[in-house]
Chain A
Amino acid sequence: MAKPFGKHKLRDILSGYGFMSPAIIILGCFLLLPIGYSIFLSLHRVNLLGTVSYKFIGVGNFERMLDDARLWIALKNTFRYALIVVPSQTMLALVLASILNMKLRYRNFFRVAFYLPTVTSSAVLVLIFMWIYNRNGLLNFILESVGLPTYNWLGDPSVALLGIMIMNIWSTAPLFMVIYLAALQDIPENLYEAAEIDGANAWRKFWRITVPQLKPVTFYVIVMGIIGTFQLFDQSYIFSAGSGGPNNATLTMVLLIYQYAFKSLDMGYASAIAFFLAVVIMLITVVQRLLFKEEKLN
């Protein structure tokens, strides 16, 4: 313990940090400092426009959140969104990947075709979908031509979020599909052969071999999916022209943060909500880790 460092050792340390310094500087500048600053902001009442002032109010911003009806609506919307989108896109991705993993003809074509939505810019996707959902758009045109009643998909609060959900599942499932596809090809063939000899049918093979083998990947996909859904912003922003309407139906946490930060210039409160959102995401991830813990024993 008390042994003094030799010159040699010090040089080692210095050169070590020297090599790390680009990463430390970049992470410090763009990750640690902003995090620290936002925690600082969240404890203050901040005025940036005109005379800049920081007034320490302790947990005042967090107390204010308890009483903020729009915050709870945003949180509820975000949860509802994640609860529907994450399982759907995970399952869809798994099914698509399994199909594409079979020895199909033209499967390379299908792999590319299915992946296309992910490559498209999300702003463009939203505009295309808004055209589909429009009162005189494609969806209503199809409904009308088969004699079904049409609907104001964009204007009705009860279906507005659903519209974004469908769009998001469609556009992000292929990304996870590719991850699943890579993992599927890693499963040793002999497991399936052994199961076949034991008389297992296709369904049993899928359920007893494929799904358990994919567990670590599923964990990754679900965590990334939840983080992605909690960060939902651009789609509901374009959808509602920044308002989160109709009737707060498409208001998400990040959109609310944006509104407080840039519309009302209430940076302190916006930082407090951002901090709160970070804690929520962390909690969910921890819970998931616990649920998937048995994996480690294998």
Chain B
Amino acid sequence: MKKRLSVFMLLMLALALVVSACGSKNNEGASPSSTQSNASESPKGQVEVTLAGWGSSPEEQDLLKQVLAEFEGKNPDVKVKYEIIADQYMDVIKTRLIGNEAPDLFYLDAFEAPALIEKGVLEPLDGYVTPEFDIGDFEAPTVNAFKSPDGKMYGLPKDTSTLALFYNKKMFADAGITAPPTTWDEMMSISEKLTKKKGSKVEVYGLGQAPELARQLFMLKAYGGQLVDDKGLATFASPEAEKGLSLVIDQHLKAKTAGQPSDVGAGWGGEMFGQQKAAMVLEGNWAIPYIQGNFKDVDFGTAEVPTVNGEKGTMAFTVAYVMNKDSKKKEAAWKLLSYLTGKEGMKTWTSKGFALPTRKSVAAELGYDKDELRGALVAGSSYATPWQAGPTLPTLMNNFNNQFVAAYTGQSPLPDALKKGQETANKEIKAAQ
């Protein structure tokens, strides 16, 4: 009996050895062979840098490829391999970072930046920046969004966009409205004139809304509400926050002059506006080429977001290029990064207006501040709330959105929903610490 057991144990041991040998062989085998194949493919001395980003419109991708081709023309020793991660971008990037298979450079939204910086997987860029690179040329808030609490810089913002009020000129003319609203009260009354109902069913909403934290954070702050305290805990269930957010909810539930895209079967605000099911939406720069390309008959204008409580406010969304700390080709990666965010690269990248430049000199050169459609967006950047609030933001956002939608659809009163969201968020944050 004992002997049989020992034979079995021996076999298991042998098995374990085989398995572990297999595993380690794979691990070791994979990386040298792949670098070898790279070396044999490309001419001598050329380094291949991988750059990963999320999928965007085909026009935008062509533009990026153009920038990359220009870079390769000027730097024959660096070859760029551009990868598109079409879906669940952050999940894929995080998993690949764990598996040491992450790209050398990748896009990073400001919203996700603090969590990644905290984990120490990004390369600090301070040591690479030269005086010629002219870091002072960047709009300060866009760079600060990628700094760690101790002031190290982990990413260079490739572009940014704020939200502005998009309005349908024809609908405005039909309703006899001459100018876009400048205050929230005006916007409410204008929405009423623009809303078209057929029986009880709303066919055209005055305002298209997005009931989510990323779009409503500035409303939360309009009366002095705060999203988060300095310990990373949620503080959004305050009367001040409620005051701003109730403007959003009441317009949907009480006045019935605003709705979300899914109310009319659209996927997002830009589509809702393009299909002429909303006369106004708050959208960013990305919506301009989208509407122009897909809905050519829509004549629209933009204006700054109407003031709430007499204060100007809007959201700002910034994306940076960051470098993988485990990258083996940091010098080449920096070459590419500094070209993409340098004056020349950024000028090409933002030349078609898909995104707004984060360098003041480029913005001035391209003249977007005087552009008819983009002027309002540029103007917003001076007072915008950046979409970033520390490493706990993903948890805060998840719980806020979940409860805010419940309030938005009238399932629970706003104060209860906010309280519940805050309690759940704080429980989760404390449990994860």
Residues of A at under 8 Å CB distance from B?
Answer: 1, 5, 10, 13-14, 17, 21, 24-25, 28-29, 33, 47-51, 64, 67-70, 134-137, 150, 152, 154-158, 242-248, 262-266, 269
Contact = CB atoms under 8 A, between A and B. Distances in A.
Given A10-B7, A13-B7, A70-B424, A247 B18 contact: no
A33 B432 CA distance: 26
22 contacts: A13-B7, A17-B7, A17-B11, A21-B11, A33-B19, A49-B121, A68-B431, A135-B265, A136-B265, A137-B265, A152-B262, A155-B262, A155-B263, A156-B409, A157-B405, A158-B411, A243-B401, A245-B405, A247-B405, A247-B406, A248-B402, A263-B394
Interface residues of B, number: 41
Given A135-B263, A150-B201, A49 B431 contact: no
Contacts, number: 98
B3 A246 contact: no
Contact of A69 (B97, B406, B427, B432): B427
B427 A245 contact: no
B1 interface: yes
A266 B119 CA distance: 13
Contacts of A69: 424, 427
B4 interface: yes
B411 to A, nearest CB: 6
Given A243-B402, A265-B94, 13 more contacts: A5-B3, A21-B15, A33-B19, A49-B94, A50-B120, A68-B427, A135-B263, A154-B262, A244-B402, A245-B402, A246-B402, A262-B95, A264-B432
Closest 8 pairs (CB-CB, A-B): A136-B265, A50-B119, A135-B265, A247-B406, A50-B120, A49-B119, A48-B98, A262-B91
Contacts of B265: 134-137
A67 B427 contact: yes
Contacts of A248: 402
* A interface SS class: loop
Contact of A157 (B15, B97, B406): B406
A152 B411 CA distance: 14
A49 B11 CA distance: 35
Which of B88, B264, B402 has the most chain A CB atoms inside 10 A of its CB?
A: B402
B431 A247 contact: no
Nearest to A149: B200
A64 B430 CA distance: 10
B141 to A, nearest CB: 26
B294 interface: no
A264 B403 CA distance: 19
B398 interface: yes
Contacts of B192: none
Interface in B361-406: 394-395, 398, 401-403, 405-406
Contacts of B263: 135, 152, 155
Interface of B: 1, 3-4, 7-8, 11, 15, 18-19, 88, 90-91, 94-95, 97-98, 116, 119-121, 201, 260, 262-265, 394-395, 398, 401-403, 405-406, 409, 411, 424, 427-428, 431-432
A49 B4 contact: no
Contacts of B405: 157, 245-247
B91 A50 contact: no
Contacts of B401: 243, 245
Given A28-B19, A134-B265, A246-B405, A264 B121 contact: no
A242 B432 CA distance: 20
A244 to B, nearest CB: 8
B19 A25 contact: yes
A91 B95 CA distance: 42
Given A48-B98, A69-B424, A136-B265, A243 B15 contact: no
A246 B406 contact: yes
Contacts of A154: 262
Nearest to A14: B7
Which of A48, A50, A64, A243 has the most chain B CB atoms inside 10 A of its CB?
A: A50
B4 A13 contact: yes
Contacts of B264: 135-136
Contacts of A158: 411
B274 to A, nearest CB: 15
Contacts of A244: 402
Contacts of B3: 5
Contacts of B121: 49-50
A93 to B, nearest CB: 34
B196 to A, nearest CB: 16
Contact of B409 (A21, A137, A157): A157
Contacts of B95: 262
A157 B260 CA distance: 15
Nearest to B432: A266
B409 to A, nearest CB: 6
